Chains A and B, each alone.
Chain A
């Protein structure tokens, strides 16, 4: 009986700990500041949400077009001409994997941002503050994925330059 009671207290404590500590971490002055700036913060988030959606559509199209319309086409042409483009094929595969990561990380970020926008910051300032931190981390993750995609684009260019100089050398 005692064991059940202790286990229930520990489990209950673990479940309720995050919200309690979030409330405890913030001073009353800080909570009041969040409540006061609630409307302005929500407006900024709405604007960010719309701008990020546009960025996702435009950037996503650009990244996908580079893979499908340029990288894959060139790799196919190299293969049809029985030339060695192995490194470029590998970079394209890595790039496509990274593109998939970008899509899923953005989806997770957007869903978290939508949840944040639904929180009533006037009534739940601590929860709002804590969720802003999580969304910020998720946005950084999307940015990391974008940087890796940019690295992939540059790597492909370097591999193509190498292929090009080898081809020109053979062609002489």
Chain B
């Protein structure tokens, strides 16, 4: 703000400083609110852009399935160090086959659940 503008507005440096001094608490509260809003915007952006939002079953609308989420701990870890023997190979084979079969058993996101007929929005000529 130039001196000319301040003069036109009827302000000078001393009166502005006095005004700031008198409203310190209000300015601090206002500054804190602005800063927290900015941080909320940044964190919400990170939450949605990182893919965390898609994994967050605590969101409203997921209450019906929340209890059915499985824990990562149920999968055993194969030790990454040690010698390789016929026994360790057999051990890995059994472990891998068990989880591989479990993982590939379900054709996830398959099926035609978004078919127009399923949703009841098919047209008269649609098969």
Contacts and interface: CB of A to CB of B under 8 A. Distances in A.
Interface residues of B, number: 52
Given A44-B118, A54-B65, A65 B109 contact: no
Nearest to B92: A74
Classify the interface of chain A: helix, strand, loop or mixed: helix
A154 B95 contact: no
Classify the interface of chain B: helix, strand, loop or mixed: loop
B103 interface: yes
A139 B75 contact: no
Given A58-B69, A77-B84, A167 B89 contact: yes
Interface residues of A, number: 70
Nearest to A30: B123
B69 A57 contact: yes
A135 B114 CA distance: 8
Contacts of A63: 103
A171 B86 contact: yes
B126 to A, nearest CB: 9
B107 to A, nearest CB: 7
Nearest to B48: A111
Contacts of A52: 109
A82 to B, nearest CB: 10
A60 B109 CA distance: 12
Nearest to B50: A107
Interface of A: 26-27, 29-30, 33-34, 37, 40-41, 44-46, 48-66, 69-70, 72-74, 76-78, 80-81, 83, 103-104, 106-107, 110, 121, 125, 128-129, 132, 135-136, 139, 142-143, 146-147, 149-150, 153-154, 156-157, 160, 164, 167-168, 171
Given A74-B80, A156-B100, 15 more contacts: A37-B120, A53-B55, A56-B54, A57-B57, A57-B69, A57-B70, A59-B106, A61-B71, A62-B70, A69-B77, A70-B77, A80-B80, A103-B51, A139-B113, A146-B108
5 contacts: A56-B54, A57-B57, A83-B84, A107-B54, A143-B109
